[in-house]
Amino acid sequence: MLERYYVRPETLDRIRSAWIGPLVDQYATWMLERGSSARNLAKRVPVLLNFGAFAQREGATDYAQLPAQVEQFINFWVHRPDRRRGVVERAQEEIATDLRGPIQQMLRLVVPGFVGRTRRRFPHEPFLDQVPAFFSYLRQERGLRDKTIEQYIHHLWAFDVYLKRIGLQDLHALSPVVVSCFLTERGPGLRPGGLHNCCSVLRVFLQYLHRTGVVARDLKPIVEAPPAYRLASLPRSITWDQVQHMLEVVDRRTALGRRDYAMLLLLVTYGLRAREVAALQLDDLEWRQDRLRVPERKAGHSTAYPLSPLVGSAIVDYLKQGRPQTSSRHVFLRVMAPYIPVTHVAVAARVAHYLHKAGIAVSRAGSHTLRHYSASRTMPSDVGHQAHSGQKGLLKTTRDWSRTRHSFVCHSQAVEETQELIARSIATRPAIHRWCPGERLLFHRQSGLQIDLRRFNRFVPEPQGNYRSVNACLRQIEGHRVAQDVYGDAFVFQ
């Protein structure tokens, strides 16, 4: 595969004649399969050849002996005699990292069981020797997802380190004093939300210890999380003008800009989380039904939204002119090799990048800034960009109920924008509902208005299928009283 990167025959002969040449050729094939460019390989091949020559001079005769030469070669290369003077220690660390990366990648391909130096990671399951079934209890009995269990591992690893540091090896010796001292020491290094999560994890763990008989006394009641008040902090939401300015700074002439523009529109329009955007797959886009499915939501829930033409056109533009050719079914991929799905961290980082680029000052810039915006108000009906001047925000035409109708997804803080329309619809004609278990979509046939009651989770109770509960929901959504019961055939629950 080296022929794909090098044109001159003498260069190919020099690489293949080296002692480590076959390994370099195998590594080049692996990089080609991952879609790496010739520029990246041109930087790495000289490092690998120098490493092979150094290992051979040190007496290595077999490829299995190469892992022992990695750190020696890096130390030699950083401090070699012809190295220019005045290199600071930080630069030496960066050089060592650049050298270690390609060497370890190549050795992982050819040396069975080689791992090398990786980032510091927490043990998979702390306290495994004393309570081996705790994490199985979280997965099977409590039904927690792996991402949630990672939070348990994070906080319980800190608790395990603290117990070992104070010399407490047996969980049977746990006491209220030990637990209180741990929280007192850990509290200053955490934000209020982080400390609240730490206390919640510790309460579940202590309750499980008492339940399984590891400790004789239930220590859960002594762990009191700090009080958390809604709306106690400054809102992270931004205005529509700021959102529009952020979208305008995206350079959609590049593949990166097309991908980021589609992700930003999903976050702004539907209020999705970064993890939900990163997990979207091609099968979740139902083009014939004009529907967007979000299957991997929090707590295992799933949601279906009407697919906005503005969002749909941005995704199509990215799929046609920006998405790499790969077998992955994820919608959003990296723009550089390896072409793997983007992570939720990358989605949040791109949002923060464009917020800073647009000059928008916000605390903790990230994807939740746009989620807060989506929850705080609905886009105005006259929204539109130069390229999409005919679109009307979330108001769109869909094919359903065997005829054309309009759908509008309401947001919890945008009641005033739909209040007048709902009030006028109720006043002109009585209404009735048909209750379908598991759904909370209220559809008004006259106006074509569809209200997603799940957007009102914070202050609308779960409807129970009776007229009184439906009227209570409508009163809270409209902000005024309904003079008569909901009769007729105007409102229906889908």
Whether residue 93 is found in the same domain as residue 36: yes
420 in the same domain as 364: no
pLDDT value, residue 395: 29
Residue 364 contacts residue 356 (beta carbons within 8 Å): no
pLDDT at res. 233: 67
Co-location of 362 and 441 in the same domain:
no
The band of 51, judged by pLDDT with boundaries at 50, 70 and 90, is very high
Amino acid 349: pLDDT: 94
* pLDDT at position 14 over 80: yes
Residue 403 pLDDT: 28
Structure tokens at 17: 């004649």
Q: Check whether residue 292 and residue 359 sit in a common domain.
A: yes
Residue 281 shares a structural domain with residue 338: yes
Domain for residue 229, yes or no? Answer: no
- pLDDT tens-place string over residues 292-304: 998 877 766 778 8
Q: Could you give the number of structural domains in the chain? A: 4
* pLDDT tops 60 at residue 374: yes
Looking at the structure, tell me whether residues 487 and 428 fall in a common domain. yes
Q: What percent of the chain has pLDDT over 70?
A: 70
Inform me whether the pLDDT recorded for 81 exceeds 80: no
The pLDDT confidence band at residue 355, using thresholds 50, 70 and 90, is very high
Given a cut of 50, whether residue 390 has pLDDT beyond it is: no
Q: How much is the pLDDT for 482?
A: 35
- Residue 134: per-residue pLDDT: 94
- Looking at the structure, tell me whether residues 83 and 172 fall in a common domain: no
- Between 450 and 92, where is the model more confident? 92
347, pLDDT greater than 90: yes
- Lowest-pLDDT choice from 47-61, 323-337, 398-412: 398-412
Task: State the pTM of this model.
Answer: 0.60
398: in domain:
no
Q: What is the residue range of 247's domain?
A: 240-376
Is 193 a member of any domain?
yes
Q: What is the mean pLDDT of the chain?
A: 75
Within a domain: 209: yes
Q: Is 149 left (phi over 0), alpha (psi -120 to 50) or beta?
A: alpha
The answer as to whether 361 is a domain residue is yes
- pLDDT of residue 414 exceeding 50, the answer is no
Q: Are residues 278 and 195 in the same domain?
A: no
- Residues 209 and 146 reside in one and the same domain: yes
pLDDT for 95 equals 83
CATH number, position 275: 1.10.443.10
Asked whether residue 79 is domain-assigned, the answer is yes
Residue 409 has pLDDT above 90, yes or no: no
Is residue 460 included in any domain, yes or no? yes
Pairwise pLDDT comparison (343 vs 95), residue with the higher score:
343
Between 172 and 382, whose confidence is greater? 172
State the pLDDT at residue 458.
35
* 190 or 396: which leads in pLDDT: 190
